[in-house]
Structure 1
Amino acid sequence: MMSLSMVTGNYAAFPYVVPKSLDECLSGLEHFIYYPNPGNLGDELIAASTVTLFDRIGLSYEVYEEGRDYGEAYTLVYGGGGGLVSEWDWHEVMAPVFSSPGLSRCVILPHSIRGCRSILQLMDERFTVFCREHRSLEYCRKFNQKASFLPADDMAFYLSPLLLPSWESLVERCAEPGILLRLFSGMNLIKEREAHLCRFYRKTCRRLLRHLSSRVQLLEDGRRVGWFLREDQERDEAFASCLPPVPRMDVSRYGGGDCRWHDYNMMGVYMLLHAVNAVDVVVTDRLHVSIAAAMAGRETMMIDNSYGKLSGVYEQSMKPLSHVSFCRNMEELLLQLRRSNVPVPNHERRD
């Protein structure tokens, strides 16, 4: 049976302490509908951390189902992430959800929000919105004076690898007939959907393990450097054009989905943690690769995405972590690599 290794880092900083404003907001809710933000492995880390926190607090909730009528007065909690930015069209999907006539209260967990004034216009006194970087907080407060906007760390910071079940127990649970029965109650094709998800994660895990062996930079001293760089529209093209010709991979795209199934989210978290645990140094413009690497105690060099998400979260939540650095430009990245004795092809200093 395929197995993913547990990280072996120092977990002392994780989970972060939940801020009083977020704790009181969630603890004060009665039964609510939880709508996770979909996406990649990073979003699965967010979703896994969120549900773990819900259960730790002892909250009563159910996962959102498309097309279901929730009545005239219900509370919605929308999961954290980066869906409400102009680079993606997901804010268009959420607009009718936020404008539903039955919605009596809405909590949006720590999010990046930018370039979506139309979605902000839907938010009134019913909305409490947490922002994971100061830039998003300022943007929201500038264009909306009705909703409550508050700062908070990205939800992924509230998870520790020590809180995870074992990989073997996840595989066993996800292989059991009926695990999705609670999630697809009354629907046909339950077994087919379950089998598809099991096959998807097993196949994706094998692909991740295979690629990790060949897509990392092996140094002469035996250390391994993971250049885990994004390949989508959030990539900073100017920075990317300056990067050296080294092996690289976009780890976050080795999984993900609608993030509604907790055990599968946990499997995605294991895949992400295994990837960062397989190397000694991580260079990335992926926010949740950075957070996972920080959890694992790996030396982490962050570079920004196209709209400043990583720099914002670094300033708000990661600056105190001594093994994590943020590099604003190629010169700073090269300096950090030299300090760590990581040779970079075509970028070596010429005396």
Structure 2
Amino acid sequence: MRGAARFLDRAIKSGKPVVILPHTIRGHVETIASLENGLIFCRDQESQHFVSSVCGRPALLAHDMAFSIDTTRYGLWTALDMPAAVRAASESRTLYAFRRDSEAQARQHWALPSNNVDLSVTARTVGDDRASFLVQAAAFLTQVAQFDRIFTDRLHVAIAGALLGRSVVMFDNDYGKNAAIYRLSLQERFDCVEFFPSVSAYEETRGPLHRAAEFAL
């Protein structure tokens, strides 16, 4: 919702009907409340409650759109097409895909592994047309498919791993988005996905996430 707020403000001012596809919504009360000619889909129950009770707008509940992807329709890229960092990381068959942006949880007691690859960044393509989006989706799925075990706080890396049947350990982001979507869409549907609220919670029961020699500040 952070990146979409300005666009939504412009769309509302245009007076045209607005449909918000499954989204996590926190804050932006005035913007959501002013949406008189539109329909809102939320991808977690917390967002639905927020929109309905705080913003005074009806909201429908739906799974994230990524769950509708048919992974069998995308031809896989060859290893030569993938970024060097992904090829190098795939040698261990274990992916560490942790975000480095403002949604990342504070890392007070652990550091990113040196072979961390934020696939949500590396798989991006230039272009906003349908063909570019299809290429980006194929590249993203192909990169995730190179790994057997995935540790991530990136929602769509976790979803892609689940759809591909990989073993996924999913962690929360900084405001509970991942936890809420896990409860609605992953917990009962994908046995291959485990969820932990933080890396610290994981390490309390499973031990170190990775060897100390792999740490990269």
| Structure 2 counterparts to residues 332-351 of structure 1, below 5 A | 332-334=201-203, 344-346=210-212
Q: Which runs of 5+ in 2 are unaligned?
A: none
State the TM-score, normalizing by the size of structure 1. Answer: 0.54
TM-score by length of 2: 0.85
- Matching residue of 1:253: 121
Quick check: 1:265 aligned with 2:175? no
**CA displacement at 1:335 relative to structure 2:** 6.2
Partner of residue 66, structure 2: 156
Which one of the candidate residues 197, 200, 205 is aligned to 1:328? 197
Indicate the structure whose relative CO is greater, using CA pairs within 8 Å and at least 6 residues apart.
1
Say if 1:278 and 1:149 are closer, same or farther in 2 by CA, change over 3 A.
same
Aligned to 1:110: 22
Contact preservation (8 Å) 1:244, 1:346: no
CA distance, structure 2, for counterparts of residue 244 and residue 155 of structure 1: 29
8 Å Cα contact 1:134-1:312 kept in structure 2: yes
Q: Quick one: percent identity of the two aligned structures?
A: 24
Q: Alignment partner of 2:182: what SS?
A: helix
Shift of the 154–296 alpha-carbon distance from structure 1 to 2, 3 Å rule, reads same
The equivalent position to 1:215 in structure 2, one of 89, 96, 115, is: 89
Q: 1:216 to 1:167 in 2, by over 3 A?
A: closer
One-letter amino acid matched to 1:135:
E
Deviation at 1:106, TM superposition (A): 2.4
Equivalent in 231, 236, 255 of residue 100 of structure 2: 231
C-alpha distance after superposition, 1:106-125 (max 9, x if no partner): 2211001112113113212x
Secondary structure at the residue paired with 1:107? strand
State the partner residue of 1:182: none
User: Retained in 2: the 8 A contact 1:216–1:227?
Assistant: no
Q: CA RMSD in A?
A: 2.6
Deviations 1:44-66 (A, max 9, x none): xxxxxxxxxxxxxxxxxxxxxxx
Matched positions, count: 210
Partner of 1:98: 12
Q: Distance in 2 between matches of 1:160 and 1:273?
A: 11
Residue ranges of structure 1 left out of the alignment (5+ in a row):
1-83, 169-204, 219-223
| 1:41-56 map, 5 Å | none
1:238 & 1:139 partners in 2: Cα distance? 28
Matches within 5 A, 1:167-186: none
Contact kept, 8 Å, 2:199 with 2:209, in 1: the verdict is: no
Q: Could you give the per-residue CA deviations for residues 227-264 of structure 1, whole angstroms, max 9, x where no partner exists?
A: 0111211111247x524644211111124368742221
Q: Distance in 2 between matches of 1:144 and 1:262?
A: 33
State whether residues 83 and 122 of structure 2, in contact with CA within 8 Å, keep that contact through their aligned partners in structure 1. Answer: no
